[in-house]
Chain A
């Protein structure tokens, strides 16, 4: 057989498997060979399964009607996997082997998907570049001197480099959409409560969601179909019917109103990004959508609000890493508190410590009302902005990130500049709405540009279809980096 298998999309691979044109073993081998070839350059995985470990379990053959049966997938290393080390790219979890599967993993396994490995991320998903990973930075497959985005940078880079067929990531403030934009792939953050968080290592519990990173929109619909739905093990997951996402992909735009929030074309935005997004909007209009300008007046407060709420929740969630029940423990401490202090000092990296400090401060006695409560109130205003905007339109279309991928090291010493690069994604998590990033062009240096489509709560089908309509009429998603 001469056809290359690793570039296949999930739906192409699935079709070939079902027709018997290849076996899952051939596909998995091809992708593992691809990983061997590109990993030295991009470093997208923390753990790659050995060939025999990742082979589909023939004793438990999945039903043939599953579109995921035999498909090799990658999973961000903050989603727990039974018997497979789950590190969160942190020293403090470097030896943690979970005794259970996250609900999304159980669902993938039930459908016969093959777990190829665990992908790199910013430590505990705290970052926008994978530079805070304790195991080293992932490189952007389009330009190895650039970051892949983050925190799901390993998943995005692996998809872009064909080092998996598709992947899962998590998104707390843009961590699926921003790396998808920077790597030229599709990334979907579902509505808060759409996908179970059981087994997702908690960063900010009121913002975190798991979602797919894929080679095209149809693949995102297929993966979401499997992971979406109520889970009694996550009391914040919602018992709302899951529609047929693939069936919603009609490519029809007429009758749809696209809102363009004027605040999302920010000062300092890279001109090529703005031009590519404006061009995409003109294209959607030509294809039958109605374009209206809308306002999200509290956008400029989103970064400040996010960095109080996310760090406050993180400081509380990360209190569990104390060197007692699992994970790293510092040596040489003679009493308990000293052991906690040394373990956490040695186990956490700089960015995680900085966020624990900020969150602990915001929640500490005397500051709670001034910071935490204030930020929760502004969160209400931001949520109401979206409610009002969606009275006038079906979806919002914006750039995903104000720039294309920046260079490794460029923002590492200036946390505030790093935080500000998330300005176009994090309000979406504060409002809990779904968002998808799809490729919509390249800048002058050949780096991908992302288009973000946002929808009302639980309207993933609508944003998937608008994204699909654009994708069907363009070729950006077919471009692959030369590696």
Chain B
């Protein structure tokens, strides 16, 4: 097995996904099959190969630090599930 049920539960926790027992079972089997397939990559010796993050090289992109128009507060908050006096409101943190 490439991945265990416990590891699937750990990864779900990292990803902040609540999974049902049935989903954990299903993902364990499917991720195991996918990761076994991905093992193919180990057939290749890549010791001296540079990794590619972006195909076309772009250096750092810097812009002037200028004040521009931004989206007004009311519109910014208009999609929020819950707001209070101009702030996003969330359930208690601690």
- Decide yes or no: A339 and B90 within 8 Å by CB, A232-B63, A301-B44 being known contacts: yes
Q: Taking CB as reference atom, which chain B residue is nearest A375?
A: B41
Whether A378 and B46, one on each chain, are in contact in the complex, defined by CB atoms closer than 8 angstroms, is: yes
Q: Which residues of A contact B79 (CB under 8 A)?
A: 95-97, 99, 325-327
Q: Which residues of B contact A300 (CB under 8 A)?
A: 40
Report the separation of the CA atoms of residues A315 and B16 in the bound assembly, to the nearest whole angstrom.
Answer: 11
Q: Which residues of B contact A353 (CB under 8 A)?
A: 17, 19, 23, 27
Q: Which residues of B contact A232 (CB under 8 A)?
A: 63
Report the separation of the CA atoms of residues A353 and B82 in the bound assembly, to the nearest whole angstrom.
Answer: 25
Report the separation of the CA atoms of residues A348 and B17 in the bound assembly, to the nearest whole angstrom.
Answer: 9
- Name A432's contact: one of B27, B46, B55, B78 (CB within 8 Å): B55
Q: Which residues of B contact A432 (CB under 8 A)?
A: 54-56
Would you give the 0/1 interface string for B73-94, flagging 1 where the beta carbon is closer than 8 Å to chain A? 0011011111000001011110
For A342, A353, A457, the residue with the greatest tally of chain B CB atoms inside 10 Å of its CB is: A353
Whether A416 and B33, one on each chain, are in contact in the complex, defined by CB atoms closer than 8 angstroms, is: yes
Whether A322 and B53, one on each chain, are in contact in the complex, defined by CB atoms closer than 8 angstroms, is: no
Q: What band does the interface of chain A fall in when counting residues whose beta carbon is under 8 Å from B?
A: 35 or more
Whether B51 and A308, one on each chain, are in contact in the complex, defined by CB atoms closer than 8 angstroms, is: no
Report the separation of the CA atoms of residues A301 and B14 in the bound assembly, to the nearest whole angstrom.
Answer: 28
- Decide yes or no: A336 and B15 within 8 Å by CB, A99-B76, A354-B27 being known contacts: no
- Name B92's contact: one of A95, A301, A336, A377 (CB within 8 Å): A336
Q: Which residues of A contact B17 (CB under 8 A)?
A: 341, 344-345, 348, 353, 356-357
For B12, B50, B93, the residue with the greatest tally of chain A CB atoms inside 10 Å of its CB is: B12
Whether B11 and A357, one on each chain, are in contact in the complex, defined by CB atoms closer than 8 angstroms, is: yes
Would you give the 0/1 interface string for A375-396, flagging 1 where the beta carbon is closer than 8 Å to chain B? 1111111010000000000000
Whether B49 and A344, one on each chain, are in contact in the complex, defined by CB atoms closer than 8 angstroms, is: no
Whether B90 and A304, one on each chain, are in contact in the complex, defined by CB atoms closer than 8 angstroms, is: no
Q: Which residues of B contact A100 (CB under 8 A)?
A: 71
Judge if B34 is at the interface, Cβ distance under 8 Å.
yes
Q: Taking CB as reference atom, which chain B residue is nearest A329?
A: B81
Report the separation of the CA atoms of residues A334 and B94 in the bound assembly, to the nearest whole angstrom.
Answer: 10
A 346-403 contacts with B by CB, 8 A: 348, 353-354, 356-358, 360-361, 364, 371, 373-381, 383
Q: List 11 A-B contacts (CB under 8 A).
A: A97-B78, A99-B76, A191-B56, A236-B58, A298-B44, A325-B88, A353-B27, A374-B42, A377-B51, A380-B49, A432-B55
Known pairs A300-B40, A357-B12, A357-B15; list 12 more (Cβ under 8 Å). A192-B54, A206-B55, A232-B63, A307-B34, A324-B88, A325-B79, A345-B18, A357-B11, A357-B31, A374-B42, A378-B49, A383-B52
Interface residues of A (CB under 8 A from B): 95-97, 99-100, 191-193, 206, 232, 235-236, 238, 298, 300-301, 303-305, 307-308, 315, 319, 322-329, 333-342, 344-345, 348, 353-354, 356-358, 360-361, 364, 371, 373-381, 383, 415-416, 419, 430-432, 457
- The list of the 7 closest CB pairs from A to B, nearest first, reads A432-B55, A376-B51, A326-B79, A329-B81, A377-B46, A235-B61, A345-B18
